[in-house]
Amino acid sequence: SDVTTKGEFLLSALNDFARRDGLLSHVRGKGLMIGFEIRKDGEPRKDLANAFAKICLDNGLILFTGGYN
């Protein structure tokens, strides 16, 4: 299906970015329900996750951030 194809593409792109940059970790998902952690120096970074979500929202993509308080 279209969702499966787009999800596979997005997972592949996020995994490629995670390998290159090291900012993303634990990329996982099914279809377009995708999760990942944003970390810097091995520590979860909620501030970066929130900034990322804001940039995405400003560009028309709605995200949910969750996890570490």
* pLDDT value at residue 22: 87
The mean pLDDT of the chain is 92
- Compute, in degrees rounded to 10, the torsion defined by CA atoms 61, 41, 14, 21: 110
Mean pLDDT in residue range 23-43: 92
Helices within the chain (DSSP H only):
2-21, 46-58
Mean pLDDT in residue range 32-46: 92
pLDDT confidence bin for 69, thresholds 50/70/90: low
Read off the DSSP letter of residue 32. T
Residue 42 has pLDDT above 90, yes or no: no
* pLDDT value at residue 13: 95
